[in-house]
Copies of this chain bind each other. A is one copy, B any other.
Amino acid sequence: MTADIAQHLAAIQAEMAARTDRGQVADYIPQLAAVDTAQFGLSVVLADGTQHSTGDSAVPFSIQSISKVFGLAIALGRLGDQLWTRVRREPSGLAFNSILQLESEDGIPRNPFINAGAIVTTDAALARRAPREYLAELLTFVRTAAGDEDIHIDRAVAKSETETGHRNFALAHFLKAEGNLTNAPELVLGAYFHQCAIAMTVDQLARAGRFLAGFQRLIAPERTRRINALMLTCGHYDGSGEFAFRVGLPGKSGVGGGILAIAPGRASIAVWSPGLNAQGNSQLGTEALEMLARRTGWSIFG
């Protein structure tokens, strides 16, 4: 297997290097707009504990929405199933930052991975603490998961998001108006923008996903199964069905170009390439995962 996986990674890396259509970087903040789309990194941790990487696997990138997976784990640890009274578990069928459904559904976001749901989840994880306390807990969780103390928040990214994140402010105020935010919108968004600004390499991210693959016990197995289910149905916004159809693995993407994908019991996979497709998910990242799943037979669908 170990020999095979190295071969697969080399083949994928070669194919991705040859691609000329690499998608577009997110351009709403300068820190993301400046990233070079030539970059591509892929890392896999197997059940036997070995890790296999290729490409720019040691270059840190902004994990952005992938952080919602870790935030959800913490919120569930604090609130348990009570969280589900404030956010649902259904695909939204709409873009990640849509405010539309929120209005017709009384301020209860469809799932914890669209922005509105992640803001509610962050509010729940915050509880009555100061944002810095929550962020400290979050970093500890991520560092423990990755087995690496060298994971940080990129404060310049967080600051840029705060300055340009009017749509997220709209969502947060809307949630507050509907009574689904206990803290002040500014406070929750402060925590949220810093959470999204965690910088990691695919090496670190693949290791940080081991608890979801079942290789490391950080939270109850019942919960990892359910987080995986949410990643499968809701992890790629209005491209979630397509990702499940093509790749067949639970995955969570971020606008920085990263994707964390889980083959339960078999592998934790992280991929990064900054160019995005039309749905805002990493273009080469998605293609690389599709190739990997096909070559390895890791699809959870047979």
List B contacts of A245 (CB < 8 A). Answer: 89, 226, 229-230, 233
Asked whether A228 and B91 contact (CB < 8 A) given A170-B174, A174-B166, A233-B240, the answer is: no
Interface stretch, picked from A56-64, A136-144, A294-302, is A294-302
Asked whether A302 and B241 contact (CB < 8 A) given A91-B93, A232-B232, the answer is: no
Copies held by the complex = 4
A 213-241 contacts with B by CB, 8 A: 213-214, 221, 224-226, 228-230, 232-234, 238-241
Write out, one digit per residue, whether chain A residues 143-183 have a CB within 8 A of any chain B CB (1) or not (0): 00000000000000000000000110111111011000000
Of the candidates B91, B226, B238, the one whose C-beta lies within 8 Å of that of A301 is: B226
User: Nearest chain B CB to A118's CB is how many angstroms away?
Assistant: 16
User: Nearest chain B CB to A111's CB is how many angstroms away?
Assistant: 7
Q: Is the CB of A174 within 8 A of B185?
A: no
Nearest CB to that of A212 among chain B residues?
A: B302
User: Nearest chain B CB to A268's CB is how many angstroms away?
Assistant: 11
Q: Is the CB of A241 within 8 A of B111?
A: yes
